[in-house]
Every structure is written in C-alpha cells, then in structure tokens.
C-alpha cells in the first residue's frame, strides 16, 4: 500500500486538542481529503472552522465540495462564515435539511439550520439535494437516506419536529454520513448518527459492496440514547474488528471515555486540531 488513502482533519469540535489558539464550540466540522479532492463535512456551530482552519494552515478556498450531515444548527451554523470565505461550491444535503428540527434541552427550542436556503444560495451554496447514495469523489460516497433496520436504535427522545405548531417524532430522514472505500476497509465518517450507528454501518456495506470496516470517526450520539441501545451498539462495534474508532462530538465525554476503555489503542480522541491519515501505516519496529 502506498501511504494514506484518506486524510481527515477536525476543524471544529466541542473540545480543542492543540496549543494553536483554536476555538471550541458545540459542533462538528471535518475536512476530508481523498483522491486529490477536498470535501468539507459539516461546518460546526458558529463559524469557528474559519479561524481554526487559518491557525491550522488549511486553505478553505481550496475546498471542492461541502456535505451536510443533517440540518442541526451545530453542523450547519458555520455555513455563512464558510461560504463568505470559500464562495460558490456544490453543497450536498438531504431534501429535508431545512425541516423544523427542535429539541427540549435545556428548554424547548428550534435547533435547525439558522439560515434560509435563499441566503445560503446567495452566498454561493449550489445545493444538490440527494436521497440516495452518490459517489461524489472516486471512493467517497454520500450515504443518502439510511434505511432503518435495527429495532434497538430508537434515537434521542429529546429531539422532535414541529409542523403546523404540532410536535412530532423526528425521523431524521436527513441524517447522512460519508463512506470512504480504502484497500483496508471502509472509513465511515459520521455527523451525529441520528439514523443509528448500526444502521449507518450496514448501509455503508450495502452501498459500497465492501463489508470490512476499517474505522469510524465522528459523532455517534451514543451518550444520549437508552442503555439498551448503548449496549447493543457497543456489542456490534466489538465484533467489527475496528482498527480505528474516533468517537467525538455528541458521543459525550462519559461515553467517549467508556469506548476508550473498551477499545484501547484503537480508540482516538478527536478534538479540534486533530488529524488522521488512514489507513494508519504500522511501523515495522
Ligand atoms: Fe451534533
Ligand atoms: Fe444532530
């Protein structure tokens, strides 16, 4: 194998892991580089990714495409700042991106995209709304809508939709992930995994035709779900023989610590400022 196939740089996350004066925020933004292309996955909460990218020496004007994992504010809130820096580019998202996502913590409020589609388009977002999987770069797939197969992945009961003044369960049809095909297996890149981590992994296998899963990075949303879902998901992850697990963001610190204990050196903390070249080439010594 000739070196890394995918590079992932965490530009924005809840926590900061370097001494470069980065900003932390409740959000997630990662830059994915593969096959000579640079794809930004989510934009964090308030635009920290721009200053953080500057501090890290990442030129956001060279990003080829933006993919949005779902319509929550903590993944889309940096779009205005990013588009002002980048200008016009393709933006991949599910058609339900602008659904009226709401949450009940610490009080009931709207937690969807904080901008209108019109404003974002005027800033250069060239929206490509996708429901089915699409390979946007050779070997890099946007998942499309994730089929719900498991019975135990019931999600976070504090999240809901508001339609015509009525509260209803949020099915998160818009929740999408990235699937990267490498010679050593799939690298699965998560936003918040609202569709369920096991559903997402199984869909990745179906879409790409590759069953081996090399690694997973991103928000698992495992912290806020039921103990039953946590246990079943962890059992599933343990039989995957993962080589890399970097659960961050909405995983929550207690669950990240639990996973670190269970997975040992396979687990990596992934705060803002961290970067990974995958598959990891083991030294011979
Ligand atoms: Fe999130
Ligand atoms: Fe979310």
pLDDT of 282: 62
Please report, rounded to a whole number, the percentage of residues in the chain having pLDDT higher than 70: 98
Ligand 2 center–CA 17 separation, angstroms = 22
In this predicted structure, the answer to whether residue 48 has a pLDDT above a threshold of 70 is yes
Name the residues around ion ligand 1, CB cutoff 5 A. Answer: 74, 192, 250
pLDDT tens for each residue of 89-134: 999 999 999 999 999 988 899 999 999 999 999 999 999 999 999 9
In this predicted structure, the answer to whether residue 285 has a pLDDT above a threshold of 60 is no
Ligand 2 center–CA 284 separation, angstroms = 40
Query: What contacts 148, CB < 8 A, 6 or more positions away?
Result: 195, 196, 199
Phi and psi based region of residue 5 (left: phi greater than 0; alpha: psi -120 to 50; beta: remaining):
alpha
pLDDT tens for each residue of 150-188: 999 998 889 999 988 899 999 999 999 999 999 999 999
Ligand 2 center–CA 220 separation, angstroms = 10
pLDDT tens for each residue of 1-35: 566 799 999 999 999 999 999 999 999 999 999 99
pLDDT of 51: 98
In contact, 233 and 193? CB cutoff 8 Å = no
pLDDT of 224: 94
In contact, 273 and 56? CB cutoff 8 Å = yes
How far apart are alpha carbons 252 and 53 in whole angstroms? Answer: 24
């Amino acid at each position: 194998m000739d070196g890394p196939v995918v590079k992932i740089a965490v530009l924005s996350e809840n926590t900061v892991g370097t001494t470069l004066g980065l900003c932390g925020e409740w959000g997630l933004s990662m830059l994915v580089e593969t096959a000579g292309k640079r794809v930004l996955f989510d934009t964090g909460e308030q635009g920290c990714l721009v200053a953080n990218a500057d501090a890290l020496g990442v030129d956001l004007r060279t990003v080829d495409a933006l993919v949005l994992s779902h319509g929550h504010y903590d993944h889309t809130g940096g779009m205005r700042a990013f588009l002002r820096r980048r200008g016009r580019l393709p933006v991949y998202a599910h058609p339900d991106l602008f659904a009226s996502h709401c949450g009940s913590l610490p009080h009931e409020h709207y937690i969807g995209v904080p901008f209108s589609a019109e404003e974002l388009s005027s800033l250069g977002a060239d929206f490509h709304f996708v429901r089915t999987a699409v390979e946007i770069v050779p070997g890099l797939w946007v998942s499309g809508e994730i089929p719900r197969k498991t019975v135990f992945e019931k999600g976070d009961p504090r999240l809901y939709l508001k339609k015509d003044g009525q509260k209803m369960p949020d099915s998160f049809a818009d929740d999408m992930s990235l699937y990267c095909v490498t010679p050593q297996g799939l690298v699965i890149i998560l936003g918040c995994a609202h569709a369920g981590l096991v559903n997402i992994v199984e869909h990745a296998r179906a879409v790409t035709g590759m069953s081996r899963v090399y690694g997973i990075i991103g928000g698992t949303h495992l912290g806020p779900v039921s103990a039953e879902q946590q246990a079943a998901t962890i059992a599933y992850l343990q039989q995957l023989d993962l080589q890399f697990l970097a659960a961050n963001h909405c995983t929550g610190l207690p669950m990240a610590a639990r996973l670190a204990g269970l997975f040992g050196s396979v687990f990596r903390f992934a705060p803002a400022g961290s970067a990974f070249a995958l598959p990891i080439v083991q030294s011979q010594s």
